[in-house]
Each structure stands twice: as structure tokens, then as C-alpha cells.
């Protein structure tokens, strides 16, 4: 899959430059914390990115308020995509870190209209480690959540 990877440092990344109006973008919506614009790659017509206005690289760098604001904007944009493009399906995709397939290191979520046989795929290699392993994972996570 041909990929664009933005390697510019924080504060001058392409989404920060879009937020400041220094780079052109087909803007859809903005509020105090978020901005929505057309993905230049347009996997399907109506493909929108919702990003934080403030530079934050990943899910682990945004505030709970920014996370809630992004989801509010995503839901509004998704409804508008439904009204405008009427796709039979819609996928949200949010990637963190190089290994998580993130290519622009400024928090964003893809709002992607979907169609039958549109060529979009996500490999999902099921491992099914068994209930004993699942309970052990759950215990570790529950402990980490209690410690917060
Ligand atoms: Zn940025």
C-alpha cells in the first residue's frame, strides 16, 4: 500500500499547518477543539479526517475533553456523510504509533464511507489464546485501571 508519512516535528506537522491556515485543505467543519477536512487520499468519496486543533501525537496525548470533542465531531460528520453520500456502510479508523499504522503523528480519526467491494481491508489475525489467558489479561488491565 503506498503511504505518505509526515516526518515533520511537532508544531509544524501538516495538520498543525492546516489548523493555522498555512496549508490548503477542503474544510468541512471546526469548533474550539477540533477540525474536519477531506482526506487528500479519498479512499472513497466523502472520506473525512477529524483532528484535534492542538498538536497531540496520539490517543495518549489528547485530553479527555479533546477526545470527547473529536467523537462529537465524528458523529456529526458521519451523519452528514450519510445524508450527502448515502454509503451503505461507514468505518472509523484511528491509528497510534508507527506500528499502529499511524502516518501523520497528529491525533486524527478517519470517517470513511464504505461500499461493497471497495478494496478496503484490515488484516485481523485471530489468535484465540483461550479463556485462561483472557482472564489473566483482564486481571492485569483491571489492576492498571484501579491504579489510575
Ligand atoms: Zn500537529
Rounded to whole angstroms, the Cα distance separating 30 from 10 reads 21
Q: In this structure, are residues 104 and 14 in contact, taking their beta carbons and an 8 Å threshold?
A: yes
Q: Is 14-147 assigned to CATH 1.20.59.10?
A: no
Q: Is 110 a catalytic residue?
A: no
Ligand 1 centroid – CA 139 distance (Å):
36
Rounded to whole angstroms, the Cα distance separating 46 from 29 reads 13
Catalytic residue among 108, 110, 115, 135: 108
Q: Residue 121: which of 101, 140, 147 has the closest Cα?
A: 101
Ligand 1 centroid – CA 133 distance (Å):
38
Ligand 1 centroid – CA 91 distance (Å):
24
CA distances from 13 to 19, 22, 53 (A): 10, 11, 12
Reply yes or no on whether the pLDDT at 1 is more than 60: no
- Mean pLDDT confidence for 59-77: 98
Rounded to whole angstroms, the Cα distance separating 58 from 66 reads 12
Q: Residue 6: which of 69, 64, 49, 45 has the closest Cα?
A: 49
Chain-centroid distance, C-alpha 131? 31
pLDDT in tens, 85-126: 999 999 999 999 999 999 999 999 999 999 999 999 988 999
- Taking a 5 Å cut-off on Cβ, the residues next to ion ligand 1 are 13, 15-16, 55, 106
Reply yes or no on whether the pLDDT at 10 is more than 90: no
Q: In this structure, are residues 45 and 113 in contact, taking their beta carbons and an 8 Å threshold?
A: yes
**What pTM was computed for the model?**
0.92
Amino acid at each position: 500500500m503506498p503511504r505518505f508519512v509526515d516526518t515533520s516535528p511537532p508544531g509544524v506537522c501538516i495538520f498543525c499547518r492546516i489548523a493555522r491556515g498555512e496549508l490548503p485543505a477542503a474544510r468541512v467543519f471546526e469548533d474550539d477543539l477540533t477540525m474536519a477536512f477531506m482526506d487528500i487520499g479519498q479512499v472513497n468519496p466523502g472520506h473525512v479526517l477529524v483532528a484535534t486543533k492542538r498538536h497531540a501525537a496520539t490517543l495518549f496525548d489528547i485530553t479527555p475533553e479533546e477526545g470527547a470533542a473529536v467523537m462529537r465531531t465524528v458523529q456529526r460528520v458521519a451523519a452528514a456523510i450519510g445524508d450527502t453520500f448515502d454509503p451503505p456502510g461507514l468505518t472509523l479508523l484511528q491509528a497510534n504509533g508507527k506500528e499502529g499504522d499511524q502516518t501523520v503523528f497528529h491525533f486524527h480519526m478517519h470517517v470513511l464511507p464504505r461500499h461493497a467491494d471497495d478494496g478496503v481491508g484490515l488484516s485481523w489475525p485471530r489468535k484465540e489464546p483461550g479463556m485462561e489467558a483472557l482472564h489473566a489479561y483482564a486481571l492485569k488491565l483491571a489492576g492498571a485501571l484501579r491504579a489510575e
